[in-house]
Amino acid sequence: MDNLKTILGRARAEGWSMGHFNASESDQFRAIVEAAKEVGSPAIIGTSEGEAKHVGRLEAVALREAFRREFNIPVFLNCDHHKSVAAAKEAIDAGYDSIHIDLSAEPYEANVMGTMEVVAYARAKDTLINVEGELGYLRGESKIQNEKIKVSKKDYTDPEQAKDFAAHTGIDRLAIAAGNIHGISLDEPDLDIDRIKAIRALVPQNVALVLHAASGIHDNQIRAAIEAGIANIHINTDIRVAYTEALRNELKIDPAETTPYKFDAKAREVLKDLIKQKLRLFGSVNRI
Ligand code: G3H
Ligand code: ZN
């Protein structure tokens, strides 16, 4: 099975993007893997710090292992937005394939130093662990936000700084800010495609660019972002909303149902359909 770095390189060269989907329940893991298997796509499952705490890091690794064995497809586990070196190291020790160390809220020097430390720790454990750093300011949260969230150009990733960051840290992936915001707000995000192109032009080609916060972004913008060089796209809010709405609906249809595997089956199906739709949009089908 190809490793994550190889697949991301292939995605970039062939003009498609790998999907990264967040999960905190085993049936969500299953929905992601079944969807990927059905369309012949690799996939990344992400657990944020909160999601990792809920499912358990060792448990998430065990689930990834079991799903790989059962479905025989390249499915990887990423610790998403881990905001301290200590948390990132815990994920490395637990056996995650991919580490997103997000020190973007720190001053630049501290971001570089902390990210470097995580890269060194990961490489010492296993050179195939893929490390993602983040630069720029991503507003919002992975939920429905009933307000307008203004993004300022000052939040965007600076291309020259991105080049410097990649050179000093030795990361494999870089999460960027270019008009994207976490969650769904009253404004439809407007990606700055030229900024993505400018970052892509300066960051070494072996570093994959990551677009976070893709829920709520128009399909045409997603396609343009991939064309501009994005090789990995993160979706969380769309998943949370689809899953929770389906669960609520099922419980409303039959309030007396108390068997979880009966009332959550529909939510899993809904999630599977959503993931397949995203994988098609990302051009990731039949890429195994
Ligand atoms: O890291 C996770 C993603 O960036 C999720 O963003 O909730 O806007 O889909 P989203
Ligand atoms: Zn994110």
Q: Which residue has the higher pLDDT, 186 or 201?
A: 201
Q: How far is the CA of 214 from the centre of ligand 1 (A)?
A: 6
pLDDT in tens, 105-136: 999 999 999 999 999 999 999 999 999 999 99
Q: Is 82 annotated as a binding residue?
A: no
* Whether the predicted pLDDT of 186 surpasses 90: no
Among candidate residues 94, 92, 143, the one with its CA nearest the CA of residue 118: 92
Q: In this structure, what are the phi and psi dihedrals at residue 254, rounded to the nearest 5 degrees?
A: -135, 80
Measured from the alpha carbon of residue 79, the closest ligand is 1
Q: Count how many Cα atoms sit within 13 Å of the Cα of residue 224 in the half-sphere of its side chain.
A: 14
Ordered by where they begin, the domains of the chain are 4-282 (3.20.20.70)
**Token duo for residue 233:** 């796209």
Q: Is 54 annotated as a binding residue?
A: no
Instruction: Look up residue 154 and give its DSSP letter.
Output: G
* Whether the predicted pLDDT of 150 surpasses 90: no
Regarding the beta carbon of 182 and ligand 1, being less than 6 Å apart is answered: yes
254 an active-site residue? no
Q: How far is the CA of 250 from the centre of ligand 2 (A)?
A: 29
| Average pLDDT for 37-63 | 98
* Predicted pLDDT of residue 1: 84
In angstroms, the CA 232 to CA 4 distance is 11
In angstroms, the CA 95 to CA 100 distance is 14
What does the longest C-alpha to C-alpha distance in the chain come to? 59
* Whether the predicted pLDDT of 187 surpasses 90: no
Q: How far is the CA of 133 from the centre of ligand 2 (A)?
A: 11
* Whether the predicted pLDDT of 188 surpasses 90: no
* Whether the predicted pLDDT of 258 surpasses 90: yes
* Predicted pLDDT of residue 265: 96
Give the whole-number percent of the chain exceeding pLDDT 70.
100
* Nearest CA, atom 6, ligand 1: 213
pLDDT in tens, 101-113: 999 999 999 999 9
